[in-house]
Structure 1
Amino acid sequence: MDSLDLKLPGYMVYCVIISCLGSFSNGWVIGSPNVPGDITHNCPNGAAKVASSAFPDCLPMNTGLWGFAVASFCVGGLVGSLFGGGIQTKFGRKKTIIFNNIGWIIGGLLIGVAVNPAMFIIGRVLCGLSCGLGSLSTPTYVGEISTVKARGTMGTCNQFAIVIGILLSSVIGLPLATVPLWRINYAIVAFPAVAQFFLMAGCVESPRYLISVNRLEEAKENLQRLRPGANIDKEFYGMIEGQLGTAAAKAAVGDVDLYDDKKDDMFMDMESNSAVVDEGMRAPMSMMDIFKDPLIRRIAITVICLHVIQQLIGMNAVMYYSTTIFNMTFDAKMSMYMAIVTTAVNFISTILSLILIDRMGRRPLLMIAEIGACIFSVLLIIGYVFNVGALLIVSVFGYVLSFAIGVGPIPWMMTSELTPVYASSAVGAIATAVNWAMNFLIGQCFPLIFAGIQGYSFAIFAAIALIAAVFTFFRVPETKGRRLEEIVRSFEK
């Protein structure tokens, strides 16, 4: 069997799952303050050492400082993603993922033993550094090792692991929302990080990365391990040709008959683009270089816009507002359970995305998600204006479902699908940094906007979702079932 016909070889799936342990840690950091947050900074005994002689019962913080402490991991995420491109280019995807766990381990343990707000904030920033670097390196690694036919499903695993982390942190946070057990809730992130630190050693380095640094023999061995029992000549030839040129591909693989009766269409444009693929080995681009190259600039703008849309469409704001919505209909305790139900809806919807992504394709699923986000944002406004509690709750669930099936996972996936290896680190670094910056912006600005115009603030998100759907229709290419090199060449037209 040709490797281009493979879908889910076992070892490849194993490598994807292990690499996504970092995404789980990312989700845990995001969700860990949700349930035990109040007992963390506002417990009855304050900084007194009643439950333990070694640690204060909680870390007293006012609302403003607590908001900054929780959001401070976004600052770490911004820094980690900005420097992540250079790190994964120099050290490779595998080593970056392995050593990225240090931030989660140290940060989680630091929060667990915090005796003042400063230690808590520093721990959140350290965790954020790993979240930022992980949000770049994990999708890149997954995209580069996945088969063509399962790249969508594998790519969605990144978001799926984040959602699982958020959900479990909320569920486990319920019994831990007491003094002094809240400390354990924040320190738990160190366990999956330690597990990934050791288990990732059993995974291979990305063959595409190895080709980019001219380690062709090792790249071929790793690709064969990822595609056991399959003929990898065509796939390997295409990888080399896309990065090093036709001459290098022929020297490494020999003459390969790319035009067979099964899938001529995947290679039909190679000869017409021989001038491009014969340019030879390309040096890794810097963040400044990508805006000087017309082809990469077009790709970079598309990728960055997808990440801006993911945050500005308002998911974090909806999750923030959900507490207020549930308090309108339920008591405080039931509202806490409903917040967990919202996270469960996010989890189930992400499973739906796993099923649909390689069947429907990225572009139609993304448009459905954006249109759904627009509709449910409008319904949120109607529910708010007419004080219809049931409509508000349905709108929150519908919005979360819309976001999770497309807007959540697809930008991370398409970052690696749209970008050639020599530019992937730089483009990914900028896109991820912009994502974290927008995340922080929404977290800080939305409460102010909501305080001013209340539920009408969701008109902003409805408008952004509509603009996003138009942008996707005209500017985002379909990547389902297409080789990465073929996708890149489509931007030349």
Structure 2
Amino acid sequence: MPPPQGGAGDRSWTREVTAYLALLIAIATIGPLQFGYHLVCGRSLIHLFTMPQASLPTPKPDTLAELNAPQDVITCEKKFISSYADIPQCIPMNAGQFGLVSSIFTLGGLFGALCAGPVSSRYGRLMSMRLATIFFVVGPAFEALAPSIPIISLGRLISGVGAGAAVVVVPIYISEVAPPQGKGFFGAMTQVMTNFGIFTTQLLGLFLSRGQLWRVILAVAGVIGLLQALALTCVVESPKWMAANGNPTRARRNLQKIRGQGAAIDDEVDSWGIKGIPTEEEEGLLNHPESQPHPTRQTHIGILEAAINPHYRPAVIAVVGVMLAQQFCGINSIIMYSVSLLSELLPTTSALLSVGVSAVNLVATLACAPLADRWGRKPCLLLSIAGMGTSSLLLATGIIYSLAPLSAIATLTFVFSFAVGLGPVPFILASELVEQEAVGATQGWALAANWTATFVVAQFFPVLNVWMGQGKVYFLFAALAAGFFCFVVLGIPETSGKKSIDEVWGRRSTERRVD
């Protein structure tokens, strides 16, 4: 494991950050923003709609944020005069139906994650992001205008497909356009924007949970999707993908545009390990791109082949394990259920509590974004898991013994610990643990595991919390954290500072893969 990196040399990559690169990252990460936005629309906002009336705060007549409990609005317990006769103010549902509407998003996400890897490998990262925006526009349209449960469920399913695809493709794209020494920082932007989406949903829910305005919360996602579709016309395809797929000249030109005119890019191009890419001098001598040597179009590794082939299988196991750790260490129990867990202990409104936790998560993730490059991926993961496990023990103690200050501190340390490693690093690893031809498939496995684990935690955490006794489920999360700590120690190689996949895994470059 390399020692922690720091000092002035560690910041040299910032000179390679151009305004155009910043624009690319901002546009691409709208996809993860949509993931966080839709996830909380269904699992936090809609879950809140189904909470028993007794658990909701008593409405105060002059307080906008608590003017009408969302449950009253959505379930038609309170009627408002609607100016849209064809669109009902509310959709009557029981708790089971709300659960279906909420969780069907994860089903769409799982499907999108499994399909996005092969699609992005064959047709490109940019094309995959553009396809995802179609789902981001159509899904919210169904949701916002839904007159019935089947229509809003269909909208959630469609939105889930787009979100699942985005969180697979965007981290790969970022890894391939970011400066080599800044991949950890820019890779963390996936998690930063996911958290920003969560925060935005909860902030809008604070003010728009009345009348038909709840539909605006859903419609905003469609507007964001449309804006991203337009913005993607300004985005170039991943240079590394283009070089590996028979267009080396265009790859070099795209990389030059990203790094800035006059920037030296030959070393970075050489690090791709793709033969047949002309040097800057060769490109200047050749007038016609058609006359330049083109590499053979790479073979794309499918989902099943990546898991079966022993050359790629260690990477698949590694990224799946880390993605499971991300969810099974308990972060979504805090993001999704902090209201029901802590509202009785902490003297604040439930809605403000949710917004506060999301804001802390966003700020912490942004503040910790440079750490993966400075300390290395593996140390960040280990520190993160250890912090979350310790916080779980403290949170269990605080809840069981009604110690409000301890519970509040444990919640904050839980969120900060997640931001150090388990938040951003899992999205980075796939592109650093496996060769170009299998990145899409490996990332697909990783996000499929993530979506499955998210569904399990969302569905069964409340049940376990009741069955084991309030707060005791965090002892289970602490035990899982201990297990995942051992997994990272034994099964995850350090990728920071390594020049090749063979170096990451300690293989000889002459070793041949088993087909």
Is TM > 0.5 for Structure 1 vs Structure 2?
yes
Is this contact kept in 1: 2:76–2:91, CA < 8 A? no
**How many residues in Structure 1 have an aligned counterpart in Structure 2?**
461
Aligned pairs for 1:189-228 (under 5 A) are: 189-228=221-260
User: Which residue type is aligned with residue 317 of structure 1?
Assistant: S
What corresponds to 1:271 in structure 2?
none
What corresponds to 2:82 in structure 1?
51
What corresponds to 1:357 in structure 2?
372
Partners of 2:221 and 2:337 in 1: CA distance: 26
Bigger helix share: 1
| Residue among 231, 236, 257 paired with 2:269 | 236
User: Which residue type is aligned with residue 488 of structure 2?
Assistant: T
Q: Deviations over 1:255-299 (max 9, x none)?
A: 99xxxxxxxxxxxxxxxxxxxxxx986411112222343221111
Cα displacement (A) at 1:232: 1.3
Partners of 2:186 and 2:240 in 1: CA distance: 17
What corresponds to 1:272 in structure 2?
none
After superposing the two structures, state which structure 1 stretch, 430-439 or 126-135, moved more.
430-439
User: Which residue type is aligned with residue 23 of structure 1?
Assistant: P
Q: Deviations over 1:82-140 (max 9, x none)?
A: 11112112221011101211111111111111111111111111110001000101001
Unaligned runs of 5+ in 2: 1-11, 50-68, 283-294, 510-515
Is this contact kept in 1: 2:76–2:92, CA < 8 A? no
Partners of 1:19 and 1:490 in 2: CA distance: 33
After superposing the two structures, state which structure 1 stretch, 316-325 or 402-411, moved more.
316-325
Cα displacement (A) at 1:327: 2.1
Is this contact kept in 2: 1:41–1:60, CA < 8 A? no
What corresponds to 1:10 in structure 2?
19
Q: Deviations over 1:187-244 (max 9, x none)?
A: 10112211111111211111111122121111111111122221211211221x2x45
Is this contact kept in 2: 1:18–1:196, CA < 8 A? yes
1:21 aligns with 2:30: yes
What corresponds to 2:62 in structure 1?
none
Partners of 1:452 and 1:357 in 2: CA distance: 38
1:425 aligns with 2:436: no
Aligned pairs for 1:277-288 (under 5 A) are: 282-288=298-304
User: Structure 1 residues 318, 45: CA separation in 2 closer, same or farther (over 3 Å shift)?
Assistant: closer
What corresponds to 1:290 in structure 2?
306
User: Which residue type is aligned with residue 384 of structure 2?
Assistant: A
What corresponds to 1:146 in structure 2?
178
Q: Deviations over 1:157-201 (max 9, x none)?
A: 111111111111111221111011000001101122111111112
User: Structure 1 residues 383, 330: CA separation in 2 closer, same or farther (over 3 Å shift)?
Assistant: closer
Cα displacement (A) at 1:51: 2.1
User: Structure 1 residues 161, 84: CA separation in 2 closer, same or farther (over 3 Å shift)?
Assistant: same
What corresponds to 2:279 in structure 1?
253
Q: Percent identity?
A: 26
What corresponds to 1:70 in structure 2?
102
1:306 aligns with 2:306: no
User: Structure 1 residues 491, 411: CA separation in 2 closer, same or farther (over 3 Å shift)?
Assistant: farther
TM-score by length of 1: 0.87
What corresponds to 2:332 in structure 1?
316
SS in 2 for 1:479: coil
Is this contact kept in 2: 1:48–1:56, CA < 8 A? no
Aligned pairs for 1:11-160 (under 5 A) are: 11-33=20-42, 34-35=44-45, 37-38=48-49, 42-43=72-73, 45-46=76-77, 50-52=81-83, 53-160=85-192
Partners of 1:485 and 1:210 in 2: CA distance: 19
Cα displacement (A) at 1:488: 5.0
Partners of 1:17 and 1:5 in 2: CA distance: 16
Partners of 2:503 and 2:27 in 1: CA distance: 27
Is this contact kept in 2: 1:237–1:253, CA < 8 A? no
Is this contact kept in 1: 2:382–2:488, CA < 8 A? yes
Cα displacement (A) at 1:485: 4.5
Partners of 1:294 and 1:124 in 2: CA distance: 37
What corresponds to 2:285 in structure 1?
none
After superposing the two structures, state which structure 1 stretch, 4-13 or 154-163, moved more.
4-13
Partners of 2:508 and 2:211 in 1: CA distance: 59
1:462 aligns with 2:478: yes
| Residue among 400, 404, 408 paired with 2:423 | 408
What corresponds to 1:369 in structure 2?
384
User: Which residue type is aligned with residue 179 of structure 1?
Assistant: G
Partners of 1:201 and 1:136 in 2: CA distance: 20
SS in 2 for 1:100: helix
Q: Deviations over 1:338-358 (max 9, x none)?
A: 111111110111112223232
User: Structure 1 residues 175, 321: CA separation in 2 closer, same or farther (over 3 Å shift)?
Assistant: closer
User: Which residue type is aligned with residue 82 of structure 2?
Assistant: A
After superposing the two structures, state which structure 1 stretch, 4-13 or 429-438, moved more.
4-13
Is this contact kept in 1: 2:345–2:402, CA < 8 A? no
Partners of 2:370 and 2:264 in 1: CA distance: 27
SS in 1 for 2:168: helix
1:392 aligns with 2:407: yes
User: Structure 1 residues 133, 400: CA separation in 2 closer, same or farther (over 3 Å shift)?
Assistant: same
SS in 1 for 2:397: helix
User: Structure 1 residues 41, 116: CA separation in 2 closer, same or farther (over 3 Å shift)?
Assistant: farther
User: Which residue type is aligned with residue 403 of structure 1?
Assistant: F
User: Structure 1 residues 379, 232: CA separation in 2 closer, same or farther (over 3 Å shift)?
Assistant: same
Partners of 2:174 and 2:153 in 1: CA distance: 31
SS in 2 for 1:328: coil
User: Which residue type is aligned with residue 184 of structure 1?
Assistant: V
RMSD of aligned alpha carbons: 2.5
What corresponds to 1:275 in structure 2?
none
Unaligned runs of 5+ in 1: 257-278
